[in-house]
Amino acid sequence: MEFSVKSGSPEKQRSACIVVGVFEPRRLSPIAEQLDKISEGYISSLLRRGDLEGKAGQMLLLHHVPNVLSERVLLVGCGKERELDERQYKQIIKKTISTLNETGSMEAVCFLTELHVKGRDTYWKVRQAVETTKDSLYTFNQFKSNKPETRRPLRKLVFNVPTRRELSLGERAIAHGLAVASGVKAGKDLGNMPPNVANPAYLASQARRLADDFETVTTKIIGEQEMKELGMTSYLAVGQGSKNEAMMSVIEYKGNPDPNAKPIVLIGKGLTFDSGGISIKPSAQMDEMKYDMCGAATVFGAMKSLAKLNLPINVVGVLAGCENMPGGGAYRPGDILTTMSGQTVEVLNTDAEGRLVLCDALTYVERFEPDCVVDVATLTGACVVALGHHISGLMSNHNPLAHELINASEQAGDRAWRLPMNDEYQEQLASPFADMANLGSPGAGTITAGCFLSRFAKKYNWAHLDIAGTAWVGGKDKSATGRPVPLLVQFLLNRAGLENLE
Ligand code: BES
Ligand code: MN
Ligand code: ZN
Identity of the residue numbered 261: A
CATH topology match: 2-172 vs 193-495: no
Q: Is 208 designated active site?
A: no
Is residue 445 within 6 Å of ligand 1 at its C-beta?
yes
Is residue 439 within 6 Å of ligand 1 at its C-beta?
yes
**CATH no., domain 193-495:** 3.40.630.10
Q: Is 477 exposed, middle or buried (0-12, 13-18, 19+ CB in 10 A)?
A: exposed
Nearest-CA residue for atom 8 of ligand 1? 468
- CB count, 10 Å around CB of 225? 9
Q: What is the pLDDT of residue 498?
A: 78
Q: What is the pTM of this model?
A: 0.97
Q: Mean pLDDT over residues 191-205, rounded?
A: 98
At residue 355 the predicted structure's pLDDT band, cuts being 50, 70 and 90, is very high
Q: Mean pLDDT over residues 199-206, rounded?
A: 99
Whole-number percent of the chain with pLDDT over 70: 99
Q: What is the pLDDT of residue 500?
A: 54
- CB count, 10 Å around CB of 172? 18
d(CA 495, CA 404) in angstroms, rounded, equals: 9
Residue 145 C-alpha from the chain's centroid = 28
Going from the Cα of 141 to the center of ligand 1, the distance in angstroms, rounded, reads: 28
Going from the Cα of 279 to the center of ligand 2, the distance in angstroms, rounded, reads: 9
SS3 316: strand
Mutate to test the pocket of ligand 1, among 287, 325, 378, 380 (most ligand atoms within 8 A of CB): 380
d(CA 270, CA 254) in angstroms, rounded, equals: 23
Q: What is the pLDDT of residue 499?
A: 65
Is residue 324 within 6 Å of ligand 1 at its C-beta?
no
d(CA 102, CA 94) in angstroms, rounded, equals: 13
Nearest-CA residue for atom 7 of ligand 1? 381
| Nearest ligand, measured from the Cα of 448 | 1
Sketch the domain layout of the chain as residue ranges. Answer: 2-172, 193-495
Catalytic residue among 355, 415, 455, 495: 355
Is residue 292 within 6 Å of ligand 1 at its C-beta?
yes
In this structure, what DSSP letter does residue 468 have? T
Q: What is the pLDDT of residue 149?
A: 85
Is residue 440 within 6 Å of ligand 1 at its C-beta?
no
Nearest-CA residue for atom 18 of ligand 1? 352
At residue 358 the predicted structure's pLDDT band, cuts being 50, 70 and 90, is very high
Max Cα distance, the chain (Å): 84
Mutate to test the pocket of ligand 1, among 273, 331, 351 (most ligand atoms within 8 A of CB): 351
Is residue 346 within 6 Å of ligand 1 at its C-beta?
no
Going from the Cα of 190 to the center of ligand 2, the distance in angstroms, rounded, reads: 19
Q: What is the pLDDT of residue 40?
A: 97
CB 375 within 8 A of CB 295: yes
Please determine, for residue 227, whether its predicted confidence score (pLDDT) is greater than 80.
Answer: yes
Angstrom distances, CA of residue 72 to CA of 15, 58, 100, 368: 8, 16, 10, 56
Residues in the chain: 502
pLDDT digits (tens, 9 = 90+) for 452-482: 999 999 999 999 999 999 999 999 999 999 9
Closest ligand 1 atom to 276 CA:
13
pLDDT digits (tens, 9 = 90+) for 296-343: 999 999 999 999 999 999 999 999 999 999 999 999 999 999 999 999
CB 476 within 8 A of CB 178: no
In this structure, what DSSP letter does residue 410 have? H
Going from the Cα of 379 to the center of ligand 1, the distance in angstroms, rounded, reads: 6
Please determine, for residue 502, whether its predicted confidence score (pLDDT) is greater than 60.
Answer: no
CATH 3.40.220.10 fits 2-172, yes or no: yes
Q: Is 55 designated active site?
A: no
